[in-house]
Amino acid sequence: MEAKEKDFKGGATNGFVMLFVLILLLAGSIWAFTLVKEIGGIAFALGLTGVTLACIGSAGFISLEPNKACVMVFFGKYKGTFKETGFFWVNPFLSKKGLSLRARNLDVEPIKVNDKVGNPIMIGLVLVWKLKDTYKAMFEIDAQTMAAGNSVPGKTLAVAGRMDAFENFVKIQSDAALREVAGQYSYDDNDEGESNELTLRSGGDEINEELEKKLNERLAMAGMEVVEARLNYLAYAPEIAAVMLRRQQASAIISAREKIVEGAVSMVKMALTKLSEEDIVELDEEKKAAMVSNLLVVLCADEAAQPVVNTGTLHH
């Protein structure tokens, strides 16, 4: 989407120079009032004109800090965005709408959504965003109405009120993007055949990049940019959390048993090979089967095996 923001070309004068000029004008007006008795109506008219001009001129002062901007509107027509840092004076009939271009954090509270396979999960994110196009931010979305509750009747809407309205817009769009991304992936691997599938729990940077992309697509129309977006909360919804925990525990136990059995078989094989190579004892197939059975019981048991001394002989 093409940017619509443009620089303000209306001309800006050094604020301190104009402040000095207005002070001189006000002083001259006061001096003119003192001459009313001598000169009459002409002195009064000059003094009144000077005071009026000084009051009107005082509305033209603006002061901008770094990463602040002022959108200039002349009777409804956009004249540009002023971003120079310092103290300036511009046409007092311009409507000056202050904005902040600084990065802002937004911590989106966890929301309940359904993942790809329909499991209800709780998911939340934290993001860093900032204004990129002041024209779109001011005129493409109805920020003025959204922030009306923060303004004082008869006065220009405060910068904080506008930024809060923008933040509310970002929050709503973040919820929508979060639901969209969460619905494209499973919370975790459920089937062995899908162990290589990207999931919310294992996706990491890839999921965050996808989320950032979706957010930027939604916020582009409002002139906002997401600098970084990351999932900061991910869990099963309370109604299925206990069931899924038991499932994860069962899966962990199975995996551990597989490792134990694999190691036990390797150790039994090594024991039989050593006995055979070093000709320590001769075992027929029946004795080997009994030995294998006993070793597997000892190696795979959850508790330590109780030894039983065999006082007989292996040869009968």
Residue 227 near residue 129, CB atoms below 8 Å:
yes
- Class of CATH domain 104-236: alpha beta
Residue with tokens 């109604």: 239
Residue pair 161/30 in contact (Cβ under 8 Å)? The answer is: no
Vertex 212: Cα angle to 206 and 217 (nearest 5): 130
Distance CA 208, CA 65 (A): 33
Residue whose structure tokens are 């009032």? 33
Please give the model's pTM, rounded to 2 decimal places.
Answer: 0.68
Taking only the tens place, the pLDDT of each residue in 224-256 is 999 999 988 888 887 765 666 766 666 677 777
* Residues 6 or more apart whose Cβ sits within 8 Å of residue 237: 112, 119, 120, 121, 122
Domain parsing of the chain, residue ranges: 13-98, 104-236, 243-300
Judged by DSSP in three states, 233 sits in: strand
pLDDT tens-digit map of 152-199: 443 345 788 888 889 999 999 999 999 998 888 888 765 544 456 788
CB of 197 within 8 A of CB of 177?
no
Q: Are 108 and 126 in contact (CB under 8 A)?
A: yes
